[in-house]
Structure 1
Amino acid sequence: MRTKISLFDICNNIFLLLIALICTYPFLYIFFLSISDGRSIASGDVVFFPKNPNFEAYQYILTNSSLGIFRGLLNSGIYTAVGTVVALLLTYMTAYVLSRKQIKGRFLIMSLFVFTWVFEAGIIPAYIVLNKLGFVDNWLVMIIPNAINVQFLIITKTFLDGLPTELEEAAKIDGANDFQVMSRVFLPISKPILATIGVFYAVFIWNQYLMPLIYLQNPNLQTIQVMLKRLVISSGDSNTAFRTIIQDGIMLNPGNLKAAAIFVAMVPIVLIYPFVQKYFKKGILIGSVK
């Protein structure tokens, strides 16, 4: 039996395709700019598709240690991986405890979390506190202070509140303790919400700019975002500024190199989405509607 396709469906698909192209155009343009020949960029010939494509710009920025791009990528990758795991663990455990009805004072504890979300002390008091705790020039400043995001905590707690209490009762009848109930019963069915807030945490940590700029003064600890600001925006330093160079007979100008630096900073975090896409929609809907 053939399914009839209406004119509305065709127009809707075309409209969605146009929206998708508009959204992806900036990313594609940056990529095509990074692999184009420097002479074509200087003459203004690169409008969208690349001219004389090559990957020399990527080889240059990733192998030139004075630029610090590779070191920044490595640091950001470590902070994001470790920070996401720690944040997921602490957020899930806290949300689980606050979702248990037998916990006395859980509403007061949740109120304190919400209070810290609404009222922030500010940059200077936070710096004084974190400096006293030894987080200045310490890579743990990218992980510990923001390990529990209150918004994500509320979403996770709402998800756990919606799970049947009979699961916990049945597990305890079988002899399971509270930790076993949390880790063996509720954790496996919490994959959608964990994947969802995991993406949020990863993007948040990867895109952090103010925290590493203020607290990580050691160049060996700085992230790719700080490196990008220094190289792409504040490129007045003659030691690190992008210049026009010839590499293997190919001309590379600042346009190539800046585009390549921007693109390598985007790609790692974008690659996370395909692996959690099947959980993402379910997790965000359950966590927000319920």
Structure 2
Amino acid sequence: MSSVSMDQPVSMDKSAPEAIPVRRTKPISHWLWGLLALVLVVVAAIGVANNKNLDYGVVGHYMFNSNILHGLLLTLVLAISAEVLATIIGIVVAYGRLSSKPVFRTICWVYTWVFRSVPTIVQILILGNIALFIPSITIRIPLTDVTVLDADTNSLISSFAAALIALALHDGAYNAEIFRSGITAIGRGQYEASNALGLTWWQMQRKVVLPQAVRIVIPPYTSQFITLIKLTSLVSVLAVGDLLTEAQNISNNNQRTIELLIVASVWFLLVTSIASVGQYFIEKRLGRSTRRAV
């Protein structure tokens, strides 16, 4: 019986068949469901286009109406201003939720609990009618008779201000949870490395924690902003002159309610679509910078 040397290379059997790549195909049911969905969309579009109760000439006429454009501008100003305030509130409350002080944690938890639980329109109505239970606002210096502010609530808080505050407080509660999740997602090693470098708490948050947390929170944060844009339609209950309010005012005069609602819907669709495209490019940019860092 011949022995085989360990130094002798073992020949490979080149006649063995190569692995055949498996090509997965979608079941025929997937194509059928997709075709059915397409047919339903086409049928619905044709039905809307041929509906004689809709006057598309009215839609086109008021699409660029000066009142509609003014309402659109006010809606954008309201959404952007509320988002700026909500971002500041969200960051502060997020760190409050993570504070080592039980009092701060409790206050911030109660805030997020209340403003995430109460419907947005209820919050807007409460802020819009705040003068009913706080007729005037007076601020005095303690232990003195010096009055810093004494004004009627209605004159101090306009309908626009009430809508802005309500949206900011509501959105700030959601942003707080978004930022808190992003901050807590940062690994403990980042904190240990920052301490090893001798960074202060503020330097660590500004240079290490927040830049990494931003990459994590961008998708839910921008999605929440798109939701806020749509929530601005609720402030029409205060008649602040937003897009939906202007559309309703015009429809009250010409009795073309559906047509004016279509006008408002088209503008909301356009604005939210632009925001969604911006979200895509921001995520793509941040993802590219992350890959480069790795």
1:224 Cα deviation from its structure 2 partner: 0.9
* Residue equivalent to 2:191: 168
What letter matches 1:113 in structure 2? Answer: Y
Contact 1:76-1:224 within 8 A present in 2 as well: yes
Pick the structure with greater CA Rg: 2
Contact 1:142-1:205 within 8 A present in 2 as well: no
> CA deviation digits over 1:233-266, x for unaligned, max 9?
xx2425xx55xxxxxxxxxxx8766534431232
Contact 2:190-2:208 within 8 A present in 1 as well: yes
Q: 1:179 to 1:11 in 2, by over 3 A?
A: farther
Which of 216, 220, 224 is 1:196 aligned to? 220
Contact 2:163-2:235 within 8 A present in 1 as well: yes
Contact 1:196-1:276 within 8 A present in 2 as well: no
Q: 1:22 to 1:143 in 2, by over 3 A?
A: farther
C-alpha distance in 2, partners of 1:77/1:25?
34
1:69 Cα deviation from its structure 2 partner: 0.7
Corresponding position: 1:213 with 2:198? no
* Residue equivalent to 1:182: 205
Which of 239, 245, 248 is 1:226 aligned to? 245
Q: 1:117 to 1:17 in 2, by over 3 A?
A: farther
C-alpha distance in 2, partners of 1:160/1:16?
40
1:159 Cα deviation from its structure 2 partner: 3.3
> CA deviation digits over 1:180-221, x for unaligned, max 9?
33232222222332341332133224333343422xx4xxx5
* Residue equivalent to 2:84: 85
Which of 228, 233, 237 is 2:253 aligned to? 237
Structure 1 length-normalised TM: 0.62
> CA deviation digits over 1:106-160, x for unaligned, max 9?
43223322452477596665422587553223x3333333324434423432332
* Residue equivalent to 1:135: 157
* Residue equivalent to 2:103: 105
> CA deviation digits over 1:85-117, x for unaligned, max 9?
3312321232134225x4453432233224524
From the two aligned structures, give the one with the greater helix fraction.
2
> CA deviation digits over 1:60-83, x for unaligned, max 9?
324433xx1101111111111222
Contact 1:57-1:257 within 8 A present in 2 as well: yes
Q: 1:86 to 1:176 in 2, by over 3 A?
A: farther
C-alpha distance in 2, partners of 1:271/1:21?
28
For structure 2, the residue ranges without an aligned partner over 5 or more in a row are: 1-19, 137-152, 285-294
> CA deviation digits over 1:24-53, x for unaligned, max 9?
987x679x85xxxxxx76499x9xxxxxxx
Q: 1:2 to 1:16 in 2, by over 3 A?
A: farther
Alignment of 1:267-278 (within 5 A): 267-277=270-280
* Residue equivalent to 1:144: 165
* Residue equivalent to 1:288: none
Secondary structure of residue in 2 paired with 1:145 = helix
Percent identity reads 13
Q: 1:85 to 1:198 in 2, by over 3 A?
A: farther
C-alpha distance in 2, partners of 1:22/1:192?
38
What letter matches 1:135 in structure 2? Answer: I
1:14 Cα deviation from its structure 2 partner: 5.2
**What value does the CA root-mean-square deviation take over the aligned residues?**
4.1
What letter matches 1:201 in structure 2? Answer: F
Contact 1:91-1:152 within 8 A present in 2 as well: yes
Contact 1:88-1:198 within 8 A present in 2 as well: no
Q: 1:154 to 1:237 in 2, by over 3 A?
A: same
Alignment of 1:59-78 (within 5 A): 60-65=61-66, 68-78=67-77
> What number of residue pairs does the alignment pair up?
237
For structure 1, the residue ranges without an aligned partner over 5 or more in a row are: 34-39, 47-53, 243-253, 281-290
- Of the two structures, which has the highest relative contact order with CA contacts closer than 8 Å and spacing of 6 or more? 1
